Amino acid sequence: MPLIVIVGHYLWMAVLYIAAGIYSRSNPLDVVKNYGPAYITAIGTMSSAATLAVALRCAKKSEPPLRDDMVYLPSERRECRAGRLWRRSV
């Protein structure tokens, strides 16, 4: 059963990257090459918050490069623990 899920995941990713490559008229392998570390981090941690820093580093390496003023990162994080909303600064 897990093998079916993994194969289905990679097939769906291939469909999405090919469709995006056709739409943008660019090579989807360039995106896979640039964002590979972010993808591995996302799969390994299953956390979008943990992946954010790696994804931003990958975006700065890509073409066209990401400028520092293009990304807004909030300075505070909200977490829900045991039904209560905690406010914790990062």
Q: Walk along the chain (90 residues) and give the pLDDT tens digit of each residue.
A: 778 888 898 899 899 989 988 998 888 888 888 888 888 888 888 887 888 888 888 888 877 766 666 655 555 555 555 545 445 554
* Residue 39 three-state SS: helix
- The rounded distance, in Å, linking the Cα atoms of 16 and 89 is 36
pLDDT at 24: 85
Q: Is residue 9 a contact partner of residue 29, using CB atoms and an 8 Å limit?
A: no
Q: What is the pTM of this model?
A: 0.56
Q: Is residue 41 a contact partner of residue 50, using CB atoms and an 8 Å limit?
A: yes
